[in-house]
Amino acid sequence: MREREKQLAKLALLGESIGLFGQALSALAAYLAFEDEEVEEDQLTNMQKQIDDLLSEIRQKK
């Protein structure tokens, strides 16, 4: 029975390790999604600035 308990303990440890790895992957995915969203926000801000600049130039030429 002692050997069986060791095997069960190893399986429990393996299961816990897999769970922690899954949590780390989830955290990494959330971070990458946040960074991607931040980049998109910056790109949208830059595009809006370019549009505003072009509109300003058009108004000046009228």
What are the tens digits of pLDDT across the range 4-23? 999 999 999 999 999 999 99
Name the DSSP letter for residue 62: -
Helix (H) or strand (E) holding 1: none
Model confidence pTM above 0.95: no
> In angstroms, rounded to a whole number, what is the distance separating the alpha carbons of residues 1 and 7?
10
Asked if the model's pLDDT at residue 29 lies above 70, the reply is yes
